[in-house]
Amino acid sequence: MTTKMRSLRNFRNPIGCLILLAAFAAAGCSTANTTDDVVVNHVDASGNSVPGWVTSTGGSHAKSATMNYIANGGTSSCTECHGSDLAGGISKVSCFGNPAGCHHDPVAPWFATTPATQNHGVSAKKAPGNSGFASCQICHGKNFSGGGSQVSCFTCHAVNAPHSPKPWRASAGSLYDHGTTNTANASVCYTCHAYTGTANPNNPHPPSAPASAGTPPGCFNGTMCHNQAGHPAGWAATAPAPQPHGDAAKKDGTVAGQGFPFCQTCHGTNFAGGSVNESCFTCHGVNAPHAPKPWLGSPYTHTTVVEAGNASVCYTCHAYTGSPNPRNPHAPPSPAPAGTAPGCFNGTMCHNQAGHPAGWVATSPAAQPHGGSAKATPGATAGYAYCQTCHGTGTNFSGGSSGVSCYTCHVPTSNSPHASQWRTGDTYVHTTTDAGNATVCAYCHLNGANSPIAAPSPPAPAGTAAGCFNSTLCHGAGGVAHPVPYNDASHYTVTSATFPGSCSTCHDVSAPSAKAGPVCQTCHVAASPLAAASCTSCHASPPNGGAPAGAAYANIAGAHGVHIAMTSAGTPISCATCHNGLETNTLNHYNAAKSRVAPGDAAFLATYNAQSGASSFNSAALSCSNVSCHGGQATPNWQTGAIDPDTQCTSCHIFGTTQFNSYNSGEHQLHVVEQGFTCTICHNTTTLTVNHFTTLGTTTMEGPASATIGGAGTAVTSYSGGTCNGVACHGNRSW
């Protein structure tokens, strides 16, 4: 846009003007001086402006004029000499249209064609001085409708405002953005956007905490639209703590101040930084405005995102339009027709109907996925409290917002969110319910109510937090309340003396049992753990396939005995060598004892990693790989295979330098690789036995190979100093 400026009034009598200026000096302009940013007088005794007053880039007169305008509460001292319209006045010097560079002429393009950068807007949003909205008011009027310049700001903006039309926010689709306006302009913004306790049509939203009367205008003090700049303390917390910013983002996006669209206001439509230059991706570790996948109780979840207002934002990344989308974890079973508005459960992204997957409720006696989820540790996607989110209100499970009652299927017991009979021996049991659900159990079972067993006596004191074994529900404190899984020293140190008082309320040692808890021999299948010491209630140590556990998991003999027998100072071998993290008293051991799924898991100590890589176990082939002891080669089947160390040397030793125990010195290439001689032609198996397996816990692997050369049973009489002596093939020969 090109704006026609007021013309310069030429001097008709320069000498007269100087005399006139001298007269002004006598009336108070006799000395050039400044007060902070405001130049009180700019004409010296000779009638000239002070140096730098007017330059091609503005000079000090521009800043002085703005600060003087502000200091005078919206009136300009410039008008005394330059006229009320600033077109010349008694000074005969107009503030408009000077071809030498007055005002906007040096800045090109001051007005540009959209969407180009608007230099006049950039200048207006700067701090008051040479720029700022107050500097615009000097010429365009206090209300920006024209002023002395007779050029209204409203004409081009198409609204009665000195800025672009609303929302004037890039994150909401505007080309230009108010977020980069310097806060020192607040007093000008306040003339239209003030919030004084009543609705203001020029105010897009009231501040959450309005300022008290008399508070000076500010961008973030409750006098207009916003309170504090940025977010409150704790807005982003250290995982796994609750995240206030995440909770706010997931709320109804149609409500001001919340939802993902509100986050976009400052952080950009793509959440990469926006006007605040603060990307959401930095903390999330992924290019997304949310936690990394699966973002499903990990520890945060997307399942609590309110659809309203947010679905369209989710759609920008997770749209399903008929072809695979790497950001869409799964395609909806029934994709939506083209043009369908984005929604969480309408086939436009990942899901169709809201609710649960197929098979969530099965026909008894099949496993019940919904029951397993309900009994799990309470969290974002599991536990009875989570079920109640949709299926209940208050203390019931009678339908809630979903309108689907839990009671209908659980007949004949009425008003119950679980199976009608679910004690030990029933199809479904309550004994695997996580104790964290106790507060929900208390809805029906407080102080033993609605229980098939006698209420605890005495009951727990009033106010005691609900628990499974503290006399608040059905069970007293006679049994030690414990978590499930019960991986704790108090479990592993139970004896025949402590069992009656600590465990027998809920558990028997062996079946049959009518008690609530499982019998001990559910896991300890070989013998009572109260009578059989250490490992032997489950398996021999090492496992040997013999009685009483027999040749069944976890007592398969395999090569356990051979390996354990090799332990020494240089070759430390124990259960943990190959079952690292799976030893007695670990959670993994506990879980394996319950599940009893063969074969046992293997996890090797790094000490025994081969030079070629980390050790591993193939549960299908029952074979180990990359174990240093075996030269990194695949081993025979653990249960049925074997290696004869006197004759099968190359099962563990290979030619070259790729493994810690590879052979490559001297004439190995000629004798072994080319001529095919076996190792025992030169190496004595009797002397080999002395130190063959003594340092397998190091990269040296074994004693010096040279110590095994020659002697009875070999073709070499002796070996010393690198020479083979008395060799049947060729006499003495340097190796």
Q: Is the dihedral of CA 494, 496, 500, 501 positive or negative?
A: negative
Task: Please enumerate in sequence order all residues whose Cβ is within 8 A of that of 116, keeping only pairs 6 or more positions apart, or say none.
Answer: 109
Task: Please enumerate in sequence order all residues whose Cβ is within 8 A of that of 560, keeping only pairs 6 or more positions apart, or say none.
Answer: 542, 543, 544
Look up residue 621 and give its two tokens.
């082939």
If one compares 397 and 38, the residue with the highest pLDDT of the two is: 397
Q: How many Å apart are CA 137 and CA 145, to the nearest integer?
A: 9
Give the pLDDT of residue 458: 82
Measured CA to CA in angstroms, residue 14 lies from 6, 19, 43, 61, 78 at distances of: 21, 9, 15, 21, 20
- Taking residue 449's Cβ as centre, other Cβ atoms within 10 Å add up to 12
Measured CA to CA in angstroms, residue 605 lies from 371, 582, 638, 702 at distances of: 39, 12, 18, 19
Question: What is the arithmetic mean of pLDDT over 413-419?
Answer: 81
Cα angle: 417, vertex 421, 422; to 5 degrees: 80
* pLDDT band, residue 298 (cuts 50/70/90): low
Task: Please enumerate in sequence order all residues whose Cβ is within 8 A of that of 216, keeping only pairs 6 or more positions apart, or say none.
Answer: 186, 187, 223
**Number of residues that this document lists for the chain:** 735
Q: How many Å apart are CA 120 and CA 123, to the nearest integer?
A: 5
Any idea which of 137-141, 269-273, 422-426, 611-615 has the lowest mean pLDDT? Answer: 422-426
* pLDDT band, residue 30 (cuts 50/70/90): very low
Give the pLDDT of residue 410: 82
Residue 198 has pLDDT above 90, yes or no: no
Question: What is the arithmetic mean of pLDDT over 544-549?
Answer: 86
Measured CA to CA in angstroms, residue 239 lies from 272, 383, 493 at distances of: 21, 21, 35
In SS3 terms, 30-55 reads as CCCEEECCEEEECECCCCCECCCCCC
Residue 626 has pLDDT above 90, yes or no: yes
Q: 321-325, 502-506, 672-676 — which one is most confidently predicted on average?
A: 672-676
Give the pLDDT of residue 71: 80
35 φ/ψ sector (left φ>0, alpha ψ -120 to 50, else beta): beta
If one compares 401 and 555, the residue with the highest pLDDT of the two is: 555
Give the pLDDT of residue 72: 81
* pLDDT band, residue 620 (cuts 50/70/90): very high
Any idea which of 53-62, 74-83, 108-117, 210-219 has the lowest mean pLDDT? Answer: 53-62
Give the pLDDT of residue 103: 66
Give the pLDDT of residue 698: 92
Residue 6, SS3 per DSSP: coil
Any idea which of 244-248, 328-332, 382-386, 667-671 has the lowest mean pLDDT? Answer: 328-332
Kindly calculate the radius of gyration of the chain based on its CA atoms and give it in whole angstroms: 43
If one compares 694 and 299, the residue with the highest pLDDT of the two is: 694
Residue 29 has pLDDT above 80, yes or no: no
What is the b/e burial string over 18-53, where b = at least 16 CB atoms within 10 angstroms of the residue's CB? Answer: eebbeebbeeebeebeeeeebbebbbbeebebbeeb
pLDDT tens column, 652-681:
999 999 999 999 999 999 999 999 999 999
- Taking residue 193's Cβ as centre, other Cβ atoms within 10 Å add up to 19
Question: What is the arithmetic mean of pLDDT over 564-569?
Answer: 92
Give the pLDDT of residue 16: 35
Residue 564 has pLDDT above 80, yes or no: yes
Mean per-residue pLDDT over the chain, rounded: 83
If one compares 671 and 497, the residue with the highest pLDDT of the two is: 671
Is residue 589 within a helix (H) or strand (E), and if so which, with residue range?
helix 587-595
If one compares 329 and 339, the residue with the highest pLDDT of the two is: 339
Give the pLDDT of residue 535: 81
Give the pLDDT of residue 595: 77
Give the pLDDT of residue 28: 36
Give the pLDDT of residue 39: 54
> pTM here?
0.40
Residue 488 has pLDDT above 90, yes or no: no
For 499-588, strand residue ranges (E) read none
Question: What is the arithmetic mean of pLDDT over 624-635?
Answer: 96
Residue 77 class from Cβ within 10 Å (0-12 exposed, 13-18 middle, 19+ buried)?
middle
